[in-house]
Amino acid sequence: MKEKLLEEFERVFGGTDDCRVFFAPGRVNLIGEHTDYNGGHVFPCALTIGTYAVARKNGMDTCRFYSMNFVNQGIKAVNLDELEYDKEEYNWANYPMGVISMLNEKETRVNEGIDFLVYGNIPNASGLSSSASLEVLTAFACRELFGFEMSLVDIALLSQRAENRFIGVNCGIMDQFAIAMGKKNNAIFLDTATLKYEYAPIELKDAKIVITCSNKKRGLGDSKYNERRSECEDALKSIQTVKKIESLGELNEKEFEEIKNVIGDEVKIRRAKHAVYENQRTIKAVDALKAGDIKTFGELMNASHLSLQKDYEVTGIELDTIVETSWTVPGVIGARMTGAGFGGCTVAIVKNENVDEYIKTVGDTYLKKIGYAADFYTVEIGDGPKEL
């Protein structure tokens, strides 16, 4: 892979002197969806698929970006003093531009242009965080190229800030944190309210994690993501008139049921219910995993999907078809949508001997009902960003 990237870099930018090659993973969230901006817990892990970059300082005041995934777009060049979001002009390059813009608001300055070639093997717009992977990759590469001090947690926070302020998507911290802090064969049990976290070994023994990409493209900024966040914020404000809390994640199911009517809007009650119940499911799921109870973990995954479907309404026919078909296949321990929803991916834990049957059954049903094919990835849990 490294040789292929350097070869392409030389073709696009000329020469490979002083080039360095970096990698940042994608991520999948096993359980804890739409809880990260509600002060709850999440349970993601980094993957061994992700985004690669070849980078070097170019001695100019212009950054030049090129993607092997979007070769028809050519080189995107922008002056360091003119880093402003433009969806049409810069497209995918807005993500690294946003990170550099945030870095230049701090003492850590990217004070020289860079040439930046990227290649990702995460399905684009799949919900496996190709954008967060690119953001963390950019921050990590800039740290190494320019030699400034920055922890991996700070890289995650800066990447989230780029997404919030530069791209305009009001995302939580989960994606960037999971990618920056990834650890092989471990998921991260993260309290998004405090950033307190612990690694939990994923020991599936006779089962595998299978990700199914619906191939329905989704973009967070264009989806109802910000709308859902706003609905939860409104619900929280109503609850705060009767209970002193900072986030929905502070409530358990019983407390929520006792005060939910103060919200006064049926839709917002359901949105808040999902945030509260999903947070508690995540805590229970990690406890089950620690106890070696993979059956309960799977049941909580299933319950998570139903809540995302009925209360949060972010699934859609594509994801529901995959998950509901998954539940009929022998050897499926649990299955749910993962990511923001409105398309993207599902995640399932499937016994080894049933993986082929799972892919065939779900694939055939999906193609027949939706009219185009889904893609399947049997994945492994990997580390965070690194230099190759």
List the catalytic residues. Answer: 175
Q: Is 129 left (phi over 0), alpha (psi -120 to 50) or beta?
A: left
Integer Cα distance of 365 and 374 in angstroms: 10
CB atoms within 10 A of CB 219: 14
| Two tokens, residue 263 | 């919200």
Q: What is the DSSP string of 28-94?
A: EESS--S-GGGT-EE-EEEEEEEEEEEEEE-SSSEEEEEETT-GGG--EEEEGGG----HHHHGGGH
Integer Cα distance of 113 and 108 in angstroms: 14
| Two tokens, residue 97 | 């531009």
Distance separating the N- and C-terminal Cα atoms of the chain? 10
Q: Is 119 helix (H, G, I), strand (E, B) or coil?
A: strand
Best CA proximity match to 262, nearest among 231, 235, 222: 235
Q: Is the dihedral of CA 308, 215, 353, 287 positive or negative?
A: negative
Best CA proximity match to 30, nearest among 225, 224, 251, 281: 281
